[in-house]
């Protein structure tokens, strides 16, 4: 059995934007507000940049552990509230 150190980061974004630094092993988002929120990764591939993805009211989205760190994620919670948890 392997034991590794990890850090848990949590924040509630309330009518603001935030960039989660790269390196998270897992990321969980939950829109607990009353309007649509958005998120996007800051990675470009093949000359195309990322675009924002909508997160509807009451919707959750998880980025699971894929064996390598996730890139930075930009979260736009202007006009709503998004709960964020990341494990590094």
Domain count, the chain: 1
d(CA 64, CA 26): 5
Q: If 0-12 CB within 10 Å is exposed, 13-18 middle and 19+ buried, where does residue 37 land?
A: buried
Question: What is the pTM for the complete model shown?
Answer: 0.87
CATH code at position 48: 2.60.120
Q: pLDDT of 31-64, one tens digit each?
A: 999 999 999 987 666 666 788 999 999 999 999 9
Percent of the chain with pLDDT over 90: 81
Considering the domain boundaries, does residue 42 fall inside one? yes
Give the model's pLDDT for residue 50.
Answer: 82
Considering the domain boundaries, does residue 1 fall inside one? no
Q: Is the pLDDT of residue 18 over 60?
A: yes
Considering the domain boundaries, does residue 3 fall inside one? no
> Which residue did the predictor score with more confidence, 6 or 59?
59
Considering the domain boundaries, does residue 56 fall inside one? yes
Considering the domain boundaries, does residue 76 fall inside one? yes
């Amino acid at each position: 059995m392997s034991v590794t150190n990890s850090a848990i980061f949590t924040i509630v974004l309330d009518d603001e934007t935030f960039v989660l630094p790269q390196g998270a092993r897992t990321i969980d988002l939950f829109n607990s507000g009353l309007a649509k929120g958005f998120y996007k990764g800051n990675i470009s591939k093949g000359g195309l940049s990322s675009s924002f993805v909508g997160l509807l009211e009451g919707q959750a989205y998880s980025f699971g552990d894929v064996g390598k760190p996730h890139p930075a994620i930009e979260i736009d919670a202007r006009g709503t509230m998004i709960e964020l948890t990341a494990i590094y």
